[in-house]
């Protein structure tokens, strides 16, 4: 345990780098707490037994001593990123169906599907995301033969066998154009399927389940009963402004619904309605072209305009394994730069970084625990060699639950394998 004592951290202090440090102090750091505020210089982060004890200016650090001191020389320290609504750990090679568990197109079940049962903690996608500063994620499968995609989970990216943090944390449903295609070719059919599912789930929750004549399987009805009663949030994939308003109207019929909107390309058009409803949003970061008819109003300023209207907005939907979650800082950084473009609306640095850390954690039910550096939070800590929202910046240390993590992967091993271009000898075999 960190012992209360005289806090005397100097640049000449010896650095200790244990493989699994749970008690440590970082000094001379640029600290970005992930709480929406601007970063501070000459900051201190104190971690004790896997929890943050203090993160802030050196003047308020109090008196602590530790056997493990990191003098960071001005490097940036942040909470780990929390990636919302991704497929991290659900596919090894997306083009190989046997290793891809992101969609169950031929399953008899839909709402009952549980993403946590397929997580591969040893996936290279997890390792690469960890090395990119992603420490937690909410994951879910994609819809297959029904508008319901199933139940999401929360995972960490630690290099151990216990990746799943929580199971069945939310239910996912797809409406709009995608839902219309699945349900029979029309939004009318999608809403009819949703209404029937909610009715049958309500009957299950009330103990009136008959079984015969119902369209839902018993397992799906049981899963959706948690949504109807408000025990489980309902994440709704929707893009068009008119569809967003229709989804917000569902609470008139189902007042217990805990809605979260996902995608929301035209959210800026109805931002006031979203804000007044108190419904959070997990938005695609930079949708700006009408790739479909439901995205005709897409704009780079979507996230900024919603945030300005009072909507709680996280960046998410960054799937695609290796090319997905770790790119979040680039999107957030673009939103900061957007604020400097005449006529556009972006985010402040603090808002942008919070949109990939504390805000998605809060939407996922872990506000104050993940995605933030403050007393009592889990010590998911990332040290960067510069501003994390700059493309040229990379993590140099990653801690999850206060335990330092390896940053290697097949990618880094391939890089090292072929770094020597001498062709006189064959390259070495893989280590495993």
| β-bridge pairing 259-263 and 76-79 | unpaired
Position 20 scores a pLDDT of 53
Do 40 and 86 belong to one domain? no
Do 85 and 74 lie in a common domain? Answer: no
Residues 142 and 177 in one domain: yes
The kind and range of the H/E element at 308 are helix 302-308
* Residue 142 near residue 102, CB atoms below 8 Å: yes
**Strand, coil or helix: what is 221?**
helix
Q: Which of these three, 329, 350, 370, is where a domain ends?
A: 370
Distance of alpha carbon 175 from alpha carbon 236, whole angstroms: 7
Which of 370, 390, 415 represents a domain boundary (last residue)? 370
Same domain for 274 and 229? yes
Q: What is the pLDDT of residue 14?
A: 35
Q: Per DSSP, which regions of 95-244 are E strands?
A: 134-139, 148-156, 164-174, 234-238
- Averaged over successive runs of 10 residues, the pLDDT of the chain (432 residues) comes to 40 39 88 96 94 94 84 97 94 77 87 94 93 96 93 96 96 96 95 95 92 90 96 97 96 94 97 98 87 92 97 87 81 95 96 98 97 97 97 96 94 81 62 54
85 and 106 housed in the same domain: yes
| Domain end (from 370, 391, 406) | 370
Claim to verify: residue 343 and residue 315 sit in the same structural domain: yes
| Residue pair 314/84 in contact by the 8 Å Cβ criterion | yes
CA neighbor of 17 nearest in space, from 76, 80, 79, 72:
72
Q: Domain count of the chain?
A: 2
Residues 75 and 104 in one domain: no
Same-domain pairing of 324 and 275:
yes
What is the extent of the structural domain holding 130? 81-370
Whether residue 164 sits in one domain with residue 23:
no
Do 316 and 214 have their domain in common?
yes
Looking up residue 203, the CATH number of its domain turns out to be 3.20.20.140
- 149 with 17, same domain: the answer is no
Q: How far apart are CA 131 and CA 322, in angstroms?
A: 11
Q: Do 376 and 350 belong together in one domain?
A: no
């Amino acid at each position: 345990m960190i012992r209360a004592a005289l806090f005397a951290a100097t640049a000449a202090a010896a650095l200790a780098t244990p493989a699994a440090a749970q008690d440590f102090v970082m000094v001379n750091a640029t600290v970005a707490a992930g709480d929406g505020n601007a970063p501070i210089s000459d900051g201190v982060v104190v971690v004790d037994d896997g929890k943050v004890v203090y993160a802030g200016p050196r003047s308020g650090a109090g008196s602590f001593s530790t056997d493990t001191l990191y003098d960071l020389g001005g490097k940036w320290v942040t909470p780990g990123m929390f990636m919302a609504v991704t497929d991290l750990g659900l596919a090894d090679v997306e083009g190989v169906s046997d290793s891809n568990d992101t969609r169950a197109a031929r399953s008899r079940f839909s709402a009952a599907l549980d993403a946590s049962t397929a997580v591969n903690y040893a996936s290279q996608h997890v390792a690469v995301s960890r090395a990119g500063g992603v420490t937690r994620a909410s994951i879910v499968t994609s819809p297959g033969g029904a508008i319901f995609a199933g139940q999401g989970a929360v995972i960490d990216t630690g290099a151990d066998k216990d990746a799943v943090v929580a199971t069945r944390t939310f239910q996912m449903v797809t409406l709009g154009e995608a839902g219309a295609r699945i349900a029979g070719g029309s939004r009318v059919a999608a809403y009819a399927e949703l209404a029937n599912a909610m009715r049958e789930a309500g009957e299950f929750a009330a103990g009136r389940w008959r079984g015969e004549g119902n369209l839902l399987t018993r397992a799906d009805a049981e899963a959706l009963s948690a949504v109807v009663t408000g025990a489980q949030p309902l994440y709704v994939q929707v893009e068009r402004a008119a569809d967003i308003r229709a989804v917000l109207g569902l609470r008139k019929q189902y007042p217990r619904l805990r809605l979260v909107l996902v995608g929301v390309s035209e959210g800026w058009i109805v931002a006031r309605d979203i804000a007044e409803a108190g419904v959070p949003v997990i938005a695609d970061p930079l949708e700006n072209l009408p790739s479909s008819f439901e995205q005709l109003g897409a704009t780079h300023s979507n996230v900024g305009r919603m945030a300005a209207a009072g909507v709680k907005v996280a960046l998410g939907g960054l799937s695609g394994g290796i090319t997905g979650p770790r790119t979040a800082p680039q999107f957030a950084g673009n939103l900061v730069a957007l604020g400097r473009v005449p006529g556009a609306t972006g985010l402040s640095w603090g808002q942008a970084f919070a949109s990939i850390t504390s805000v998605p954690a809060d939407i996922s039910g872990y506000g104050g625990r993940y995605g933030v550096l403050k007393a009592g939070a889990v010590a998911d800590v990332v040290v960067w060699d510069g501003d994390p929202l700059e493309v040229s910046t990379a993590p140099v240390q990653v801690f999850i639950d206060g335990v330092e993590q390896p940053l290697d992967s097949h990618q880094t091993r391939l890089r090292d394998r072929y770094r020597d271009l001498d062709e006189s000898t064959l390259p070495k075999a893989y280590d495993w």
